[in-house]
Amino acid sequence: MKIAFDAKRAFLNRSGLGNYSRDVIRGLQQYFPENHYTLYTPAADTTLFEPNRQNTSTILPPEGYGKIRQAYWRTFQLPRQIKTDGQDIYHGLSNELPRHIHRAGVKSVVTIHDLIFMRYPHWYHPVDREIYQRKFSAASYTADQIIAVSLQTKADLVHYFGVPPERVQVIYQSCNLAFYTRHSIEELEQLRKTLQLPSEFLLYVGTIEARKNLLSLVKALHEHAIGVPLVVLGRATGYAKLVKQYIAQHSIRQVHFLEQIPFTQFPMLYQMAQALVYPSVFEGFGIPILEALVSGTPVITSLGGCFAEAGGTESVYVNPQNVEQLSDAIQRVLGNTELRQNMQQAGWEHAKKFDAEVLTRQMMKVYTQLVS
């Protein structure tokens, strides 16, 4: 088959949607090398993503296009090129499809990651919310097959957009193979010294924004005098100022913010941590949870939503906005070695559900059924 992708995020986004796009493409290249894969992107940062050229082509807009024309090419001109290139399937990996994709004469697939902007509209600028709603809903109504990254996202598609459940298939995310590599004590100690980290710490991974709820975690540690430091790994937004103001007002010295950390160091940070604390209010999937389980790191995260799908039965779940519950969970996990060991073992077993080959074969089955 000739399978095409919207690869913008694969080439230009270092986290979230970018990781998902790269993992899907790499899995297909590895496990189904007999197909040809075409990556359509308005621009390409090959230092971030360098696809296998033996079975993959990268297509960019004509030379000289500025950003506005690149965006127009991706949204409006792609169907004609897809048809000219003789593709069999086009997969929008990040919530959207080109306008009038049906004119390309291909079967179309779209992955919807979440509808958080519908559930929590106050966290989004009205203009952004309107753009997202138009793009996501148009893609959901147009696609021959919708992929949701969790049962929660599928339920939201049915609830908010009225999509028939039979049109949505849940195929979970995998995580980067780098997290499966165990690093030596010497490697971990060297990184600890380089980053000047404490010998024991809790880990928070994710954008520092209101939805991710870092402030509740910092309050839990401070108000209940939990002496274990916290390492924060994520990009800051305006919300980070609130967190740092609270830290300054209470003279808290045990929170370490890491910025501009290369991805190669992420697995080692997970492996050094006593636990991942992921107090997000809502997610489409919650990839740091899976990264932690694969790394052998116990997880404390949120009740409800998609979190138990990612975390399994033995992770610890709390109301993330209840500071006392969060504090109790942290102290219980830190204070019980047997509990941590059970969480590590059960987490590793649960993580097998997200094996890259298994998920890639599920995706290929979708493609095959569409063109058969």
Domains of the chain: residue spans and CATH: 2-174+355-371 (3.40.50.2000), 177-354 (3.40.50.2000)
CA 119 to chain centre: 18
Note the pLDDT tens digit of each residue in 215-264. Answer: 999 999 999 999 999 999 999 999 999 999 999 999 999 999 998 898 89
Predicted pLDDT at 99: 95
Indicate whether 51 pLDDT > 90: no
Note the pLDDT tens digit of each residue in 314-348. Answer: 999 999 999 999 999 999 999 999 999 999 999 99
Give this prediction's pTM.
Answer: 0.91
Question: Which is nearest to 95 in space by CA: 46, 119, 63, 131?
Answer: 131
Please report where in the chains the tokens 């994710």 appear, as a residue. Answer: 206
The whole-angstrom separation of Cα 205 and Cα 365 is 33
CA 259 vs CA 90, 138, 208, 233, 234: distances in Å: 36, 36, 11, 7, 7
User: How crowded is residue 236: how many other Cβ atoms within 10 Å of its Cβ?
Assistant: 16
Helix and strand counts by DSSP (H, E) for the chain: 16, 13
Query: Is-contact 91 110, C-beta < 8 A?
Result: yes
Indicate whether 307 pLDDT > 90: yes
Average pLDDT estimate for 86-91: 97
Place 64 in a pLDDT band, splitting at 50, 70 and 90: confident
Question: Would you call 309 helix, strand, or coil by DSSP?
Answer: helix
